[in-house]
């Protein structure tokens, strides 16, 4: 499968600065998309595309912090790097606490900016991979029949086949059959592995 | 006796003769004792006893004191007369009679000596001499005749006669004198009484022997005695005020003992209970010859009114003193017009450190520094013309430090002279508080300015960081793109254009900030620079005074108006003046001087502020007007930058240069107001 190229989204009301940063990042080898305001970004967020956001903290209308809040509400977790004409400590602390990837001044050295962007993209990639793995697991769990599901619930509680057969009022051999089917469907090799998958799947559901 | 016919007759006559002899001797002794006031009493008694004894013997033993028995009579001629003299056996008892005569002699001699010593030599010679010769003769004759060594009539009538004549003359003379004297005395006493009475003086005499007091009518009235009432000394004492009784008695006794005079005031309480003050002068008199005090005479005057007024005066004085000493400030009284200090309170000494010797006669100007002389002279004039003045001033203490006072001056005349008096309150604390307040205010102003500039800087930084950030990123992009084998020239050109655009934007930000700093809703109007500079000088005058800087203003009277913001321009002038003062702060020249010269130059008006301080270091001249450049430890470095900004906003110029003669000059030129501008 062809992994999509991460895109750096830049949100700034200052067109000149927007262009300049875009240029610099493009020249540094990044795919870049620019937005003149937070609202414009939220119209076409393209959450599926990996990457990160660079946003000006002070913007007319929605500010950088407002953007961060809106993203959190929608459950999308694109890492955000904040830029500011002048950093002040209270704002930066608040931003970092809410999960901002970084907080830089507009005149920050390019290394700092590049490091921050790379770190954000990596984090995004990692989070995305994790999300996909759990997504797949959930899909496999969905292929289980109702009875298989029942048996699995008992298995993850550490019950023996005999006990499961007694609980479900079915034959012990039938339990064994279901177990094999579950192992195959979920691509697991032991009941311990089954338990781990079950817990991970449960986490996702929540 | 001299005419006796028989020896028995003679003996009997002689016996009786001794009776008048006894009388004569006793009365002579009495005369000596009483009239001459001389002779020893005990000796007189012995003589008297012996004589009496011998008189007894005269009648008991033999025919008389001289003869046991007269054997025969002989007739002799004495002074042409035939007189009888006796012959017979002498009586041994005659010895006692002679002894008594001898002692009488001693008594008389002793008396004569004491009279002589007393200075009464005439009496001693006349009376004493006659008595003496009589006694001597009597003794010698008695012995010689009786023992028949000489034949002589025993009768000594001739001596008696001489003696009696002398005594009579003497006594009558004395009596005459006494009468004369007493006449004179009584006249004098009358005069004295009259004088004493009219002066309210009571004369009295205290006789120690009787311990009674005699007094003139006035004296009796003064002490509350009736004219005839006897006054024993105790009665007199009962008049004395209980508090004065003891010391008066003691002092009197001391005077009597030492023979000195008594001079003092004491209180008496009259029978009606009223209290009077007496002034008494008394003299002790001694009995002549032996220093035995005899009497004391004196005069008493009622001084109650005087005492009361004196007490009142004293009370008033005490009141005044308490008031002056209790004053929280200093009090002073200067004579007018010579302005010498004649009266002050202890506080004055304490606060200024001068002793009372140093204070007395101090001239009012001695308290001040010469620079204050005109102000003080003016204040004195105000007091003389308007009666009072109140001002703040600083006087010099002994240690040279100054003492700030809130002082008053009041014109005062007591009929004898004119004075300037007043009080001064120490206002050191108030001054200190004012100073602290001023400092706090300055600090506050400074803080406000700093925070304002901080805010300004923050906005400035934010505004500037946008274009600067853009320029930076663009530049970095270019760098990266140039690493490429075939960079996109068109894009590079775009970038360069953007960089230039952003640079311009940054410049615009700065311009906008400057404009903001300058703006401040300045109402533009026509301004008379003379008034403006005058006002600025008034505002910095306290500073100048504090720093002892002399300010000289030289304004050309034909000054054109200029056009601009009065407040801003005044800020510039004040800033330049304060800078000039600061320049004179360290190592000030002998006469720190700041000169302001205002004059028209071509189409402009020039204002030059010069000081005679150390001048500007050549390295610093170029940076003087840059923001945040300061040579002062507490300076913000904005003053001159803002000043230049303001002047340039007025289309003027502001520059600095060092003077040839030392110090620096800051010069402003402002264009004169155009005729078209209203």
At B8-28, the pLDDT tens digits run 887 888 788 888 888 888 888
Token pair for B202: 């009571």
In this predicted structure, the answer to whether residue A196 has a pLDDT above a threshold of 60 is yes
Of B466, B477, B505, the CB nearest to A23: B477
Distance from the Cα of A73 to chain B's closest Cα (Å) equals: 30
Among A111-120, B90-99, B119-128, B562-571, the range scoring the smallest mean pLDDT is: B119-128
Contacts of A83 in chain B (CB under 8 A): 469
In this predicted structure, the answer to whether residue A110 has a pLDDT above a threshold of 80 is yes
Place of tokens 């809410």: A98
DSSP, res B282: E
Interface of A with B (CB under 8 A): 14, 16-17, 19-21, 23-24, 26-28, 58, 83-86, 105-107, 110
CATH no. of B523-678: 3.30.565.10
Q: Using the beta-carbon criterion (under 8 Å), do A19 and B498 form an inter-chain contact?
A: yes
Residues whose CB is less than 8 angstroms from the CB of residue B39 and which lie 6 or more positions away in sequence, other chains included: B29, B32, B33, B107, B108, B110, B111, B114
For A22, the 3-state DSSP assignment is: helix
pLDDT in tens, B376-425: 888 888 888 888 888 888 888 888 888 888 888 899 888 888 998 888 98
- What number is the average pLDDT over the span B189-209? 80
Of B465, B466, B480, the CB nearest to A24: B480
- DSSP code string of B486-545: S--HHHHHHHHHHHHHHHHHHHHHHHHHHHHHHHS---EEEE-HHHHHHHHHHHHHHHHH
Interface of B with A (CB under 8 A): 458, 461-474, 476-477, 480-481, 491, 495, 498, 501-502, 505
Sign of CA dihedral B19, B25, B26, B28: positive
Same fold, B200-309 and B327-424: yes
Domains of chain B: which residue ranges?
A: 7-174, 200-309, 327-424, 427-520, 523-678
Residue of chain A minimizing CA distance to B476: A24
Q: Using the beta-carbon criterion (under 8 Å), do B474 and A24 form an inter-chain contact?
A: yes
Distance from the Cα of A88 to chain B's closest Cα (Å) equals: 10
In this predicted structure, the answer to whether residue B467 has a pLDDT above a threshold of 80 is yes
Mean pLDDT of chain A, nearest integer: 83
Q: Using the beta-carbon criterion (under 8 Å), do A20 and B474 form an inter-chain contact?
A: yes
Asked if the ipTM is above 0.85, the reply is no
Fold of B200-309: Beta-Lactamase (3.30.450)
Place of tokens 């003086």: B201
Contacts of A23 in chain B (CB under 8 A): 473-474, 477, 491, 495
Q: Distance between CA atoms of B598 and B214, rounded to whole angstroms? A: 101
Residue of chain A minimizing CA distance to B498: A16
Can you give the pLDDT at residue B471? 92
Q: Using the beta-carbon criterion (under 8 Å), do A27 and B477 form an inter-chain contact?
A: yes
Between strands B81-90 and B275-287, the pairing is: unpaired
Q: Using the beta-carbon criterion (under 8 Å), do B477 and A24 form an inter-chain contact?
A: yes
Q: What's the CATH class of domain B327-424? A: alpha beta
- Name beta bridge partners: A10: A34, A54
Q: Distance between CA atoms of B216 and B219, rounded to whole angstroms? A: 5
In this predicted structure, the answer to whether residue B154 has a pLDDT above a threshold of 70 is no
Interface test with B, best of A23, A28, A84, A105 (most B CBs within 10 A): A23
> What is the per-residue burial (b if ≥16 Cβ within 10 Å, else e) of A179-202?
bebbbebbebeebeebbebbeebe
Q: Using the beta-carbon criterion (under 8 Å), do A85 and B491 form an inter-chain contact?
A: no
Q: Using the beta-carbon criterion (under 8 Å), do A85 and B498 form an inter-chain contact?
A: no
Sign of CA dihedral B294, B299, B302, B306: negative
Torsion of CA A190, A191, A195, A201, to 10 degrees: 60
Contacts of A26 in chain B (CB under 8 A): 477
pTM of the model: 0.37
DSSP, res B240: B
| Contact (CB, 8 A) for A139 and A125 | no
pLDDT in tens, B484-525: 888 888 888 889 989 998 898 888 878 777 766 654 445 677
Q: Distance between CA atoms of B604 and B651, rounded to whole angstroms? A: 10
Among A33-47, A53-67, B507-521, the range scoring the smallest mean pLDDT is: B507-521
Closest among B410, B428, B432 to B419, alpha carbons compared: B410
């Amino acid at each position: 499968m062809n992994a999509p190229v991460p895109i750096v989204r830049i949100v700034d009301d200052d067109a000149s600065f927007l262009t300049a940063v875009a240029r610099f990042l493009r020249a540094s080898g990044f795919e870049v998309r620019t937005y003149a305001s937070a609202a414009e970004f939220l119209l076409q967020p393209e959450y599926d595309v990996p990457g990160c956001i660079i946003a000006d903290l002070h913007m007319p209308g929605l500010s950088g912090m407002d953007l961060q809040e809106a993203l959190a509400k929608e459950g999308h977790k694109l890492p955000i790097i904040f830029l500011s004409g002048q950093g002040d400590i209270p704002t930066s602390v608040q931003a970092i606490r809410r999960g901002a990837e970084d907080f830089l001044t507009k005149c920050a050295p390019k290394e700092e900016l590049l490091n921050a962007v790379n770190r954000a993209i990596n984090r995004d990639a990692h989070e995305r991979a994790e999300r996909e793995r759990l997504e797949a697991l959930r899909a496999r769990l969905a292929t289980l029949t109702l009875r298989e599901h029942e048996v699995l619930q008992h298995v993850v509680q550490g019950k023996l086949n005999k006990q499961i057969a007694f609980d479900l009022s079915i034959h012990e051999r039938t339990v064994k059959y279901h177990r094999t089917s579950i192992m195959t469907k979920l691509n697991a090799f032991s009941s311990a592995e089954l338990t781990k998958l079950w817990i991970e799947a449960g986490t996702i559901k929540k | 006796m001299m005419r006796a016919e028989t020896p028995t007759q003679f003996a009997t006559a002689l016996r009786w003769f001794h009776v008048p002899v006894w009388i004569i001797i006793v009365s002579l002794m009495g005369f000596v004792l009483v009239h001459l006031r001389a002779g020893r009493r005990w000796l007189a008694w012995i003589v008297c006893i012996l004589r009496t004894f011998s008189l007894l013997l005269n009648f008991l033993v033999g025919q008389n004191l001289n003869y046991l028995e007269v054997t025969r009579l002989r007739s002799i001629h004495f002074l042409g007369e035939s007189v009888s003299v006796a012959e017979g056996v002498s009586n041994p008892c005659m010895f006692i009679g002679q002894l008594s005569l001898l002692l009488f002699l001693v008594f008389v001699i002793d008396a004569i000596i004491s009279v002589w010593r007393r200075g009464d030599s005439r009496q001693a010679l006349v009376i004493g001499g006659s008595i003496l010769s009589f006694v001597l003769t009597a003794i010698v004759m008695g012995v010689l005749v009786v023992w028949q060594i000489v034949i002589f009539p025993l009768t000594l009538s001739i001596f008696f006669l001489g003696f009696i004549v002398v005594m009579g003359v003497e006594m009558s003379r004395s009596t005459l004198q006494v009468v004369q004297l007493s006449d004179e005395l009584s006249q004098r006493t009358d005069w004295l009484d009259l004088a004493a009475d009219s002066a309210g003086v009571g004369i009295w005499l205290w006789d120690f022997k009787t311990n009674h007091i005699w007094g003139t009518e006035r004296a009796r009235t003064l002490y509350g005695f009736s004219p005839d009432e006897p006054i024993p000394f105790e009665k007199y004492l009962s008049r004395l005020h209980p508090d004065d009784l003891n010391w008066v008695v003691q002092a009197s006794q001391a005077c009597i003992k030492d023979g000195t005079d008594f001079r003092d005031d004491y209180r008496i309480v009259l029978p009606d209970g009223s209290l009077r003050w007496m002034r008494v002068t008394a003299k002790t008199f001694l009995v002549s010859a032996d220093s035995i005090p005899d009497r004391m005479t004196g005069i008493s005057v009622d001084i109650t009114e005087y005492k009361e007024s004196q007490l009142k005066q004293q009370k008033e004085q005490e009141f005044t003193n308490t008031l002056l000493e209790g004053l929280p400030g200093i009090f002073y009284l200067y004579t007018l017009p010579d302005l010498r200090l004649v009266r002050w309170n202890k506080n004055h000494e304490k606060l200024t450190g001068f002793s009372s010797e140093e204070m007395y006669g101090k001239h009012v100007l001695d308290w001040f520094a010469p620079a204050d002389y005109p102000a003080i002279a003016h204040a004195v004039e105000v007091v003389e013309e308007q009666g009072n003045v109140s001002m703040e001033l600083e006087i010099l203490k002994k240690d040279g430090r100054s003492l700030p006072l809130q002082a008053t001056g009041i014109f005062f005349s007591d009929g004898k002279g004119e004075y300037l008096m007043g009080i001064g309150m120490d206002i050191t604390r108030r001054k200190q508080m004012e100073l602290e307040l001023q400092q706090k205010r300055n600090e506050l102003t400074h803080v406000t300015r700093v925070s304002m500039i901080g805010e300004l800087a923050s906005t400035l930084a934010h505004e500037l960081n946008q274009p600067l950030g853009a320029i930076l990123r663009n530049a970095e992009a270019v760098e990266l793109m140039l690493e490429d084998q075939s960079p996109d020239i068109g894009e590079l050109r775009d970038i360069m254009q953007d960089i230039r655009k952003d640079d311009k934007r940054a410049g615009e930000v700065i311009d906008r900030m400057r404009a903001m700093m300058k703006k401040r809703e300045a109402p533009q109007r026509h301004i008379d620079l003379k008034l403006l500079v005058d006002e600025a000088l008034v505002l910095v005058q306290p500073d100048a005074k504090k720093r002892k800087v002399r300010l000289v203003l030289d304004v050309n009277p034909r000054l054109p108006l200029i056009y601009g913001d009065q407040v801003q321009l005044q800020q510039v002038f004040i800033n330049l003046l304060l800078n000039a003062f600061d320049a004179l702060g360290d190592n000030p020249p002998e006469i720190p001087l700041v000169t302001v010269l205002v004059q028209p130059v071509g189409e402009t008006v020039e204002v030059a502020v010069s000081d005679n301080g150390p001048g500007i270091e050549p390295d610093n001249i170029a940076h003087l007007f840059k923001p945040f450049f300061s040579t002062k430890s507490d300076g913000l470095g904005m003053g001159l930058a803002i000043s230049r900004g303001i002047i340039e906003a007025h289309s003027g110029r502001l520059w600095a240069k060092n003077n040839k003669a030392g110090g620096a000059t800051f010069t402003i030129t402002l264009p004169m107001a155009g005729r078209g501008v209203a």
